[in-house]
Amino acid sequence: MTYHEILKQYWGYDSFRDIQQDIIESIGAGQDTLGLMPTGGGKSITFQVPALAKPGMCIVITPLIALMKDQVQNLRKRNIKALAIYSGMTHEEILVQLENCIFGDYKFLYISPERLSTSEFRNWLRKMNINMIAVDESHCISQWGYDFRPSYLKIAEIRELLPDIPVLALTATATPEVAKDIQAKLHFKKENVFRMSFERKNLAYIVRKTENKAKELLHILTKTSGSAIIYARNRKSTKEITELLQKNGITAQFYHAGLTNEERNLKQQQWKENVYRVIVATNAFGMGIDKPDVRLVVHVDLPDSIEAYFQEAGRAGRDGLKAYSVVLYANTDKAMLTKRISDTFPEKKYIKDVYESLNYYYQMAMGDGQGCTYDFSLEEFCRRFKYFPVQADSALKILAQAGYIEYTDEQDNASRLIFTLRRNELYKLRDNDNNTDKIIQHILRNYTGVFTDYAYINEDNIALQTGLNRQEIYQTLLSLSQRRIIHYIPRKKTPRITYICGRVEPHRLYIPPSAYEERKKRYTARIKAILNYANSTEHCRSRMLLQYFGEYNDHNCQQCDICLSRHESGLKQGEFNEIRENIERMLQNGAIPPETFQEKLQYNPQKLQTVLHFLILEEELETKDGMVTLKGQSISKPANQAKCLPTQRKAHKGI
């Protein structure tokens, strides 16, 4: 089938969006390809369609387990065979999935980058028929990126095992420096980048400076309509803000990683179905959530990077209709954000102390531990050794960056099972009680593929459908597992620590600059960039964001708070700045008669005259012999003069 036929058959679309087809044709032709697409740009289509067009299976590498599960489920709903391997799975589960990759005619294998380095996976990989490799969140491979992960560097080693298999790298947040580094780290045969404009013409970026965020938040929500996301820094804040909104008649629910899987799924689904207007969440919410009609995203607390802000803000207005992204900014926010630097990068002595405490925690002997994995409770660890959780968590992440441990954040893995008996053997069983038969029949009717693959189950749903209570369901499934009729893995929610190398003595613990000093320097720069964005009073916010990612244009958005504010000339700030920039560009060639500005720029004559008059009065321009020129500058024509676009936009009413 052609790419368009695949798109129509499985997704129901008649045509591709923006640069999707260019990327698909590039990777389909066997070329290493980097796709830069903003949040909501449709990245998954760019590897799913070409992979379906070719024999074999696509390996999709992503660190986002929630997104991994979501995409596998969505593909299966479209009758596309897909599976996933990630941390938290048992060895038996992984073996079943790997066998399916070879014998099950699967089209997609989603895998976390940590799994790539295991010798077992690489042995199985040699037996697989791979048609391409897709690397999602590819900025993680760059040490210049905001979310560098050492495990991503293992992808290049996989390429050596599959030298003729093309790689498609995808990301929504890459500066020019990071884009170049991604291609180098992934061993691209030649640079090949497709960049979709990050400009969101329907999205108005606004910063509201206020010392009463609660009052301002209520004001914004009453002045706007439609679905909204409120981002807050911590779990406690999400609950407090939700209670505030509910008391004021606004339907809202809170969401964070500390909730159970069932609670999160329920709240997320109810919000998507507009049972609640507002979801108040930490940054754990939003990845892979496709709700196109979000009209408002509010950040009650500033994120620690432009990259994180841009991705979260971009969840508003995916349907192309007018939407707002608002930051609430108080004078105290700068100090709070700056403190994150010391919290994220505690002193090296502190990091070494945490490492030693970790060894005592697991009673690890010197030289032992390599390859060992343990459940880990940060709360218990900090209570026992008297650490503050934020700094201890940061220290563990730095130890992971330095290559001593693998530290997986808290993951909520739903219960899952697989039948170990064949279907005909199952029907021969005669010693089951009524409850057992009822549960087996329910599973066979409601879950597909349970004889060849692990199925995620929900004990609460089974209890509701069978009339049994949850404890009866749990005990029955355990009994079936003990009888080797099924392999049942109850739901478990916990972080994990894996020792990459054996325990070393404190004086031999080496934290390289790449894991500490260089990352701290870049983190500090990102903090500075987001603070500059929040404190700016002159520059169009859309242009500031675009320029951060290396995209330059010569027009203001005319809808952010800066553009809609009033300049002292009487014009809106955005209009004044845009006209001035185009006038100054034209004057780089030399003196110009006043009427030439109108001929070339096509602005409203009165507004153009207002700007010219203001600049002359301020002595930024001067007139000589009926000509206008830049004051105090030598006239020289640049090698490449920027093109002046005639731009007239209707200003939108702000919130």
Amino acid letter, residue 486 = I
Determine the pLDDT at residue 586. 85
pLDDT one-digit tens code per residue, 445-495: 888 788 888 888 878 778 888 888 888 898 899 989 888 899 888 876 678
Mean residue pLDDT of the chain comes to 87
Report pLDDT for 87.
65
Summarize the confidence of residues 624-635 as an average pLDDT: 71
For tokens 């599973």, the residue is 443
User: What element of type H or E holds 475?
Assistant: helix 470-482
For the segment 385-408, what is each residue's pLDDT rounded down to a tens digit?
999 999 999 999 999 989 899 887
**Residue 363 clears pLDDT 90, i.e. is over it:** yes
Stretch 273-278: mean pLDDT: 94
Q: For the segment 320-351, what is each residue's pLDDT rounded down to a tens digit?
A: 899 999 999 998 999 999 999 999 999 999 99
Name 142's Cβ contacts closer than 8 Å, sequence gap at least 6: 148, 174, 178, 181, 182, 185
Of the given ranges (183-187, 202-206, 553-557), which has the lowest mean pLDDT? 553-557
CB of 26 closer than 8 Å to CB of 69? no
What letters, b where the CB count within 10 A reaches 16 and e where it falls short, cover 487-517?
Answer: bbbebeeebbbbbbeebeeeeebebeeebbe
Residues in Cβ contact with 609 at an 8 Å cutoff, skipping those fewer than 6 apart = none
pLDDT at 648 over 80: no
Q: Select from 322, 310, 395 the least CA-distant residue to 352.
A: 395
Convert the pLDDT of each residue in 407-416 to its tens digit.
876 555 678 8
Strands 416-419 and 627-630: unpaired
Q: How far apart are CA 256 and CA 410, in angstroms?
A: 12
Segment 238-267, tens digit of pLDDT? 999 999 999 999 999 999 877 876 788 789
Residues 483 and 478: their CA atoms lie apart, in Å, by 9
Residue 397: which of 345, 433, 454 has the closest Cα? 345
**pLDDT band at 653; cut points 50, 70, 90:** very low
CB 361 within 8 A of CB 385: yes
- pLDDT for the residue 41: 75
Do strands 193-195 and 33-36 pair parallel, antiparallel, or not at all (unpaired)? parallel
In this prediction, residue 140 has a pLDDT band, given cuts at 50, 70 and 90, of: confident
The maximal CA–CA distance of the chain, rounded, in angstroms, is: 107
- Helix, strand, coil percentages, rounded to 5, for the chain: 45, 15, 40
With 90 as the cut, is the pLDDT of residue 646 above it? no
User: Per-residue confidence at 649, pLDDT binned at 50, 70, 90?
Assistant: very low
Lowest mean pLDDT: which of 277-281, 289-293, 650-654? 650-654
3-state SS track over 40-95: CCCCCHHHHHHHHCCCCEEEEECCCHHHHHHHHHHHHHCCCCEEEECCCCCHHHHH
Q: Which residues of 40-53 are buried (b: 16+ CB within 10 A; e: fewer)?
A: bbbbbbbbbbbbbe
**pLDDT tens-digit map of 158-183:** 888 898 999 999 998 888 889 999 99
What pLDDT does residue 338 have?
Answer: 93
For the cut 90, the answer to whether the pLDDT of residue 294 exceeds it is yes
Indicate if the pLDDT at residue 523 is higher than 90: yes
Place of tokens 């200003």: 651
Residue of higher predicted confidence among 288 and 594 = 594
Distance CA 152, CA 61 (A): 9
Question: Over 90: is that where the pLDDT of 581 sits?
Answer: no
For residues 280 and 558, the model is more confident at: 280
Q: What is the pTM of this model?
A: 0.73
Spatial contact of 170 and 138, defined as CB atoms under 8 Å apart: yes
Specify the length of the chain in residues: 655
Distance CA 627, CA 621 (A): 10
**Pairing of the two strands 227-231 and 278-281:** parallel
In the predicted model, what is the mean pLDDT of residues 293-310? 94
